[in-house]
Amino acid sequence: MSDQRLLSSGLCRLGLKGRDDTLKGILQGAIDRKQKALSEYDSKRVVASAGVAITREGLAGSRDEAVTLAEDLGFPVVLKGCSSTLTHKTEMGMVKLNLGNGNEVARAYDEIMAAGVELDGVLVQEMIKGDREFVIGLTRDPQFGPCVMFGLGGIFTEVLNDVSFRIAPISEIDALEMIEEIKTKKLLDEFRGSPAVDKKALVKALVGIGRLGDEYDQIAEIDINPVIISGDQPIAVDSLVILKS
């Protein structure tokens, strides 16, 4: 998998100190602005720095820029309104899926902007398709501190509650145990003609999210849902980082 898919901003290609400085800058800047959460774009930059593979994407500030980004990514694409205060994008009509050409992108951009919501920009991202969806998360327990979560994702996360937890930081062995503990673990094997999921990529993501929770007290929660399996690779198509109040 290419570095370009891992993060459009290039954060993953920085050295360790560069990543840490950039990550601290994102978090501190948001705290200084009294944000309760990061935007999806910044949330993805944070989780990508921990080793979570994300969609190739860019933030557009105009209709023409959105079309250009879409053409660079290749169709189909997804457009989303992007703001640190916009946590329910779908319900507000801020998500436009499966856009197949420049005209559709331009129209979707205008529809998002017409909603009258104050935005940082419009996120243009590649359209990831897959039959299997999982969730990766981080919570802070009053007694145990940061805890990593893994489980069945998408619309079934809250309905089936098929998840496993470990106290952060976690080891690769811990991550593998988490993966094996969910009831729907067979979805990680060969499925409907699709290959088995690259568990090494999942392990890397889980360990990285645990490290974020352990090292950055500013982060209260992380919700990466869904993580869609594209081929054998887990790709985060949405992410939300909640900050400590």
- pLDDT at residue 202 above 80? yes
Q: Are strands 95-99 and 57-60 parallel, antiparallel or unpaired?
A: unpaired
- 234, 162 contact by CB (below 8 A): no
Each residue's pLDDT tens digit, 93-150: 899 999 999 999 999 999 999 998 999 999 999 999 999 999 999 999 999 999 999 9
**What is the reported pLDDT for 13?**
44
Domain span including residue 96: 57-126
Residues 110 and 184 in one domain: no
Q: Based on the fold, state whether residues 150 and 68 are members of the same structural domain.
A: no
In this structure, are 195 and 146 located in the same domain? yes
Q: Clarify whether residues 148 and 184 are in a common domain.
A: yes
Q: Is the same domain home to 86 and 178? A: no
User: Helix (H, G, I), strand (E, B), or coil: what is residue 80?
Assistant: strand
* CATH code assigned at 230: 3.30.470.20
Q: In this prediction, what percent of the chain has a pLDDT beyond 90? A: 82
Q: How many domains, the chain?
A: 2
Domain boundary among 126, 157, 180: 126
pLDDT in tens, 66-88: 999 999 999 999 999 999 998 77
Please, what is the average pLDDT of the chain? 91
Are 122 and 141 members of one domain?
Answer: no
Same domain, 190 and 119: no
pLDDT at position 9, please?
43
Q: In which band, very low, low, confident or very high, does the pLDDT at 17 lie, cut at 50, 70 and 90? A: low
**Mean pLDDT of the 29-43 span:** 96
Q: Are residues 146 and 236 in the same domain?
A: yes
Domain boundary (126, 146, 172) is at 126
Question: Does some domain include residue 1?
Answer: no
Count the Cβ atoms, other than its own, within 10 Å of residue 230.
19
Contact 55, 237 (CB under 8 A): yes
Mark residue 92 as left, alpha or beta (left: phi above 0; alpha: psi -120 to 50; beta: remaining): alpha
